[in-house]
Structure 1
Amino acid sequence: MGLKGFVEGGIASIIAGCSTHPLDLIKVRMQLQGEAGAPNPAVQTARPALAFQSPSAAHIHVPPPRVGPLAVGIRIVQQDGAAALFSGVSATVLRQTLYSTTRMGLYDILKKRWTDPGTGNMPLTSKIGAGLLAGGIGAAVGNPADVAMVRMQADGRLPAAQRRNYKSVIDAISQMSKREGVTSLWRGSSLTVNRAMLVTASQLASYDQIKETILSKGLMKDGIGTHVTASFAAGFVASVASNPVDVIKTRVMNMKVEAGKEPPYSGAVDCAMKTVRAEGAMSLYKGFVPTISRQGPFTVVLFVTLEQVRKLLKDF
């Protein structure tokens, strides 16, 4: 029975991850906006200096305008073609296979063990605890694929001469191991674990809780409508809880470490402080629109697919 939960969760996660990958790519590009030394993803041509501009004015730093998810997506297609929206999709498949299969399977095992036999329900605190534990373990297992995915998704925003040009997730992991050491594959792992714990606890626990509430109050019957409603609400809760950690995780994983030079960030706290100092506290919610735009559909596809896969495999 335990293995079945891993199989069901893995199939649903891979389908959900691949179908929403372009939204995840746009989210990563937006989270890197405004970072020191980063080109603007939509406006990369500098304005010509005006003839009447004073020498001192020429040195005033004017932050590039922030652009929305639609503009970022259009720019990616214009520059690199529609296929570029699926940059790093091989890493997404590997990440979902390692991370999501582990977290979904473990959560399923804990849910069965911690469910009250009398009522058939699991207390909300137990759901949250199961999500925190399952998410943390899953993230530790899947971190190399997570780092590779961020690198591959962010590559297209760099000037051609600075791109890493990874051919696949295996190539990305291989190059990182050779050039930056095996430990680089777990760069930002504490952030990945923290984010995964927040996402899994908020996403899985809220889905189960909202679904149970809808059914117990007789608001809707157990079917697609209930699954979509509960999963979209769960996606919103997960987005609000995880976005700040996600922004920091993306920046730490993507930072370029050059030999003999200080890394841009010494760690997660340093990255958070520098980001807030330079860009303001709301910068931790950069990419929130594509986060909820991606997390919502991802969670809906995940749970609707999961419920259907469970029906198909109920006799196994």
Structure 2
Amino acid sequence: MVAGGNSKSDISFAGTFASSAFSACFAEVCTIPLDTAKVRLQLQKQAAAGDAVTLPKYKGMMGTVATIAREGLSALWKGIVPGLHRQCLYGGLRIGLYEPVKNFYVGRDHVGDVPLLQKILAAFTTGAVAIAVANPTDLVKVRLQAEGKLPAGVPRRYTGSLNAYSTIVRQEGVGALWTGIGPNIARNAIINAAELASYDQVKQTILKIPGFTDNVVTHLLAGLGAGFFAVCIGSPVDVVKSRMMGDSSYKSTLDCFIKTLKNDGPAAFYKGFIPNFGRLGSWNVIMFLTLEQTKKFVKSLESA
């Protein structure tokens, strides 16, 4: 990530794509248990009237992680295969395209720091394009994560990620792989804008403070800032996206939003906020730290 002026990337697009995909996949492996907890919390609905005695299955981030772990530790990494599929496509494209798109928006002759608005527009654009390509992987990941421990004798809907892709196409049609594409584009474009633009802006600001250099501490602080802004801004659309992908009864994005608001109240849109921040905060720190180091390594290879 380049913080500051309109400079060309110091490595090739292929190098940036590979670095981004690798960094995103590494962060995914490290943090997917928190993502699984977040999805379960977001899909959990309040008991209907007359069922007040029914206690929620999941409570809090650590409680949810512990409950899922009782299904078997592997349950915490459910959806990791499509998650890696997703990060290879989505992570590689959204970050790999960010610098070229940002430079396109400010113009070839721009000199000096890139305005925050152009950073936001560039990240919004690359987030939308990337998830439009990667939506099927996101759908399969959410559906695998949503399945809890089933009673004895009850078969699972899917035996694995590849089976999930084929089953969805066979039973629901090819178009079903893009279920939830509306809220998913909204969610990922918004979160990508929050993550990349805030990382870029925070890093640029920190580097202007005397004593700070382009090192691990700067990358750590910028990554935490990116995760915080992403969760605050993107949580409502993230909840709608998870519910639409996990439950096919919703007719549209608006229908899901209205039913969630009516049945569960406004607080439902920030359900799983703590695990979401735990996930996105740690994910961004790991991803950006890995990305910065990987890009240095790739640059040395390309310069050799």
TM-score normalised by L of structure 1: 0.85
* 1:36 Cα deviation from its structure 2 partner: 7.2
Matched, 1:61 2:38: no
Q: Displacement of 1:254 after TM fit?
A: 1.0
Confirm whether residue 15 of structure 1 aligns to residue 20 of structure 2.
no
**CA distances 1:250-273 after superposition (whole Å, capped 9, x unpaired):** 1111114xxxxxxx2111111111
Q: 1:300 to 1:35 in 2, by over 3 A?
A: same
**Structure 2 residue 22 is the aligned partner of structure 1 residue 30:** no
Q: Distance in 1 between matches of 2:209 and 2:236?
A: 34
Kindly indicate whether residue 103 of structure 2 is the aligned counterpart of residue 92 of structure 1: no
Matched, 1:280 2:265: yes
Q: How does 1:95-174 map to 2 (within 5 A)?
A: 95-114=86-105, 119-156=111-148, 159=151, 164-174=156-166
User: What is the aligned-residue RMSD (CA, Å)?
Assistant: 2.0
1:228 to 217, 220, 225: 220
Deviations 1:4-55 (A, max 9, x none): 2211111111111111111100100010111679xxxxxxxxxxxxxxxxxx
Structure possessing the higher relative contact order (Cα contacts under 8 Å, 6 or more residues apart): 2
Listed one character per residue, the Cα deviations across residues 100-144 of structure 1 (whole Å, up to 9, x for unaligned) are 111111113223445676655321111001001000000100000
Contact 1:35 1:275 in 2 (8 A): no
User: Which amino acid letter does the alignment assign opposite residue 307 of structure 1?
Assistant: E
Alignment CA distance shift 1:133-1:83 (3 Å):
same
Distance between the aligned counterparts of 1:219 and 1:160, measured in 2? Answer: 61
1:64 Cα deviation after fit: 2.8
For structure 1, the residue ranges without an aligned partner over 5 or more in a row are 38-58, 257-263
Q: Is the 8 A contact 1:115 1:121 kept in 2?
A: no
* Amino acid aligned to 2:298: L
Number of aligned residues: 287
Aligned mates of 2:267, 2:211 — CA distance in 1: 37
Quote how far apart the aligned CAs of 1:165 are: 4.3
Partner of 1:308: 293
Cα deviation per residue 1:228-279 (whole Å; 9 max; x = unaligned)? 00110110000111111011111111114xxxxxxx2111111111111111
TM normalised by structure 2 equals 0.89
1:246 aligns with 2:231: no
- Identity of counterpart residues, as a percentage? 37
Shift in CA distance, 242/158, structure 1 to aligned 2, threshold 3 Å: farther
Distance 1:157 1:265, change over 3 A: farther
Alignment pair present for 1:218 and 2:210: yes
Rg bigger for which structure? Answer: 1
> For the residues of structure 1 that align with 2:275 and 2:211, how far apart are their CA atoms?
30
CA distance in 2, matches of 1:104, 1:223: 20
Residue ranges of structure 2 left out of the alignment (5+ in a row): 1-11
CA–CA distance in structure 1, aligned partners of residues 237 and 189 of structure 2: 11
The 3 A distance-change label for structure 1 pair 167 and 192 is: same
Q: 2 CA distance for matches of 1:18 and 1:112?
A: 32
1:297 aligns with 2:287: no
